[in-house]
A and B are shown apart, each in its own frame.
Chain A
Amino acid sequence: MRLVLPLVLVLSFPVWGQDSKNQIQKYRDMVAEGSPAELFEIEGEALWKKPQGPNNVSLEKCDLGLGAGVLKGAYAHLPRYFADADRVMDLETRLAHCMVTLQGRTFKEATARVFGTADRPSEMESLSAYVASLSRGMPMAPGTSHPKEKEAYELGRALYVHRAGPWDFACTSCHGAEGKRIRLQELPVLTKVESARAVAATWPAYRVSTSQFVTLQWRMNDCYRQMRMPEPAFGSDATVALIHFIVVNGKGEPYRGPGNKR
């Protein structure tokens, strides 16, 4: 019998350098071989088919952009403009939209608990894992042609460099120069194609250090928390625009998530 205990590897790094990077890559490869993200996919599939809300219907008729109920490749085409809502939506915003329109839930109730804990993952996290997993191998192709999609991209680009809050931080304060990191976590420059590609292809993801499944909406929310800014609203134009900006920068990369984060 062989137990896989990859955490030990991480704790044994004395110095930061090329060797550490290789070791971290090795650890990531090991985790990826049996990623707990798959457990969230199974959970998400059950939730997708589970009738809920006042209308007691499942999300199976939810239109994620490729037609009602079409999941294959849907995530690879998000975020995109949706005519029925007249705005650009990312995966989670669209899922919340379906919970409201199909299941008859209120937006407030559907998004009351979007970020879960290790002990109690949220519905949104499991659903994101399931939907994203069905785009594996497909090149990321978010919407870029509609005027509102262009508008979202421009807004995302503006927000990326917009300094505000008590610390006068912008995304670029951490994600603006090569080679920066927080502890052992490298910070990608998301205006650079290669870095953005790696991000677009691997989110949402299982986060090993907290045993949680995390989504891009969570990442935006938590980055704003780390910048000491007011909490952005879930599914707001600002968070969707930032996600759109990042994914468009990384478009073309075949999706290989749900990935693993440190």
Chain B
Amino acid sequence: MAGPMKMRATWANGFTDVRVLMTHPMETGQRKDPDGNLVPMHFIQTITVQLNGKTVVDCQVSQGVSRNPVFSFRIKGGARGDKITVAWQDNKGDSNSLDAAVA
């Protein structure tokens, strides 16, 4: 079960700013555990952002991102009260998503 997410979406001057926090270990596959074994890769691979159900950001993410990452997106358009959905999927098939209304 994936850990919690947290999102803030605000609208100003024709742009919607989305800032989203995700709980994820983001293992690169390069790190070794105390016994010297490689810790297997475990990282977020895709993130999609939807505005009222329409995909506006569709991105691929690599290992070069910190643990518990924060992402922010600026979307042209949108309005207060619109529904923003952010979903991620990792290389082990785990996923999580969160909805928020634009404030």
Point out residues on A near B: beta carbons under 8 Å: 1-5, 7, 33-36, 38-39, 42-43, 118-119, 211
Contacts and interface: CB of A to CB of B under 8 A. Distances in A.
Contact of A2 (B3, B25, B73): B73
A33 B6 CA distance: 12
B72 A4 contact: yes
Given A3-B71, A33-B70, A34-B72, 12 more contacts: A4-B70, A4-B72, A7-B66, A33-B19, A34-B19, A36-B23, A39-B4, A39-B6, A39-B22, A43-B4, A211-B66, A211-B67
Given A39-B21, A39-B23, A119-B25, A1 B70 contact: no
A36 B70 contact: yes
Contacts of B100: none
Q: Is the interface of B mostly helix, strand, loop or mixed?
A: strand
A118 B65 CA distance: 15
15 contacts: A1-B71, A3-B65, A3-B71, A4-B70, A5-B66, A33-B19, A35-B21, A36-B23, A39-B3, A39-B5, A39-B6, A42-B4, A43-B3, A118-B25, A211-B68
B73 A38 contact: no
Contacts of B64: 5
Contacts of A3: 65, 71
Contacts of A2: 71-74
Given A3-B65, A5-B65, A43-B4, A38 B71 contact: no
Contacts of A211: 66-68
Nearest to B49: A1
Chain B interface size, under 10 / 10 to 19 / 20 to 34 / 35 or more: 20 to 34
A260 to B, nearest CB: 11
Nearest to B33: A119
Contacts of B19: 33-34
B103 interface: no
B67 A118 contact: yes
Contacts of B69: 4
Contacts of B66: 5, 7, 211
A1 B69 CA distance: 14
A11 to B, nearest CB: 13
From A34, A35, A43, A118, name the one whose CB has the most chain B CB atoms within 10 angstroms.
A34
B38 interface: no
A42 B49 CA distance: 22
Interface string B29-71: 0000000000000000000000000000101000011111111
Nearest to B67: A211
From A2, A5, A39, A211, name the one whose CB has the most chain B CB atoms within 10 angstroms.
A39
A192 B64 CA distance: 40
B65 A39 contact: no
A38 B4 CA distance: 9
Contact of A4 (B57, B59, B71, B74): B71
A1 B23 CA distance: 19
Contacts of A42: 4, 6
B22 to A, nearest CB: 8
From B5, B21, B74, name the one whose CB has the most chain A CB atoms within 10 angstroms.
B21
